[in-house]
Chains A and B, each alone.
Chain A
Amino acid sequence: MITMKRQILGIPLAIVVGLVVLGLAVAGSYALNGSPDHGPDSSKVADDPAVAARVSAALDAMMQPAALDSGSETLGGLSSNPYDYTIDNPQFDTLVSIGYDALPALEAELNSSANSGLREYMICIAIEKITGCDLKQFGDSQWDTARAFRDKWPVYLRSMPGRVKDILASKASAGEKDRQIAQLGAPAIPFVIDNISLVDEADDAEMAATLAGAMGGSARADTVGEFATRNASEIRKLRSYVRSYVGGR
């Protein structure tokens, strides 16, 4: 009887302990990844530890004085302009050359850092350079520190489907639409392809050139459809990356 009572009492106790453990695990996960707003979770990086290791190594190398202060614009570390430290910094170029694959790892580095210094700012510059985006050109996306970028970037990516659709459906001239799509950078590419029916036939070739410009080093194409076919692999990466913010497939 006493044993049965103990067993009956033990069930709710086990549930409470289980819930506490679960709660702590979730809290730990949030602490690692930042708030849920802060982009794709680090599990994406864990999916490809080789890329994460390359990114981490490039970041460490980028911050070594020999690389960091090598550009003439830095004046040996006297400049306050973080962009100066990316010029003539071969390790920064190595980081950017990893391409879209580096984005989850870069964001994980940014989100897991408690700091908002030069290193973190240069990570933001690398993310913008890889994606061909300049958030500061948009009034609602201005940022002045790495911490501010970390907050603005997910919001920007989540707005991408709406921004692209608004531009393509607008009454602006074809040239103006091309210009506005180019401003959005590479994250716009999958959504232009998804909304190809909104692109005027007469603007197809120009829009294909715009998308090629947004995706540096892409294969040339005469139409958006051809662009999508020839760059399918890179577009798949971009789509997966942006979709991790906006949802959907």
Chain B
Amino acid sequence: MCAFLMSTIAVASPAGALTPSRQTTTAERNAIAYNWTYYTLGWYENNCLAYAVGVTDRWIWPWGSAKPTIAQVTTYMYTWGYMPNAVAAKRVYCYGSSSAVTHFSKNISVTSTQIRAKWGHCEIFTHSTSNPYTSYAYGPRVFTYSKA
């Protein structure tokens, strides 16, 4: 009976172990960003958009196969309470172009110029400015959202 109970509890509590993210090389990092500081490893189960809105255990992508436009991103960011401005304390920056957004990051604090971002299924990096990316993968900052 005890053995049965234990096996049932084990089934009822699946591990849900997360998979450590892929590690980029220094050469890759230099190609991706003008400035970067390695922050932490991260998971395959998390992407830049999720990380930027404060979620670390899910991969969030509300669009289809095409990269979203700024208008599509704005519509979705409303669902997380973000407004299309840089007024409030919590900020999310997006990159690429107004017709094809490629990446998201978030500010660390309202008083700092530093931002932090998860790169695809790779690691999480801190950047000293909010516009740190080359055209290799992400491109320039194109829009800012904020919420209190």
Contacts and interface: CB of A to CB of B under 8 A. Distances in A.
A136 B61 CA distance: 11
B16 A28 contact: no
A121 B61 contact: yes
A31 B9 CA distance: 9
B4 A24 contact: yes
A144 interface: yes
Interface string B15-56: 110110010100010001000000000011111110000000
Given A27-B8, A32-B11, A136 B65 contact: no
A232 B32 CA distance: 52
Interface of B: 1, 4-5, 7-8, 11-16, 18-19, 22, 24, 28, 32, 43-49, 57-65, 67, 76, 102-104, 119-122, 136-138
Nearest to A31: B12
Given A77-B120, A145-B58, A136 B63 contact: yes
Interface string A13-37: 0000100010011011001100000
A134 interface: yes
Contacts of A112: 14
Contacts of A144: 60-62, 76
A27 B32 contact: no
B47 A80 contact: yes
A195 B1 CA distance: 52
Contacts of B44: 63, 117-119
B59 A118 contact: yes
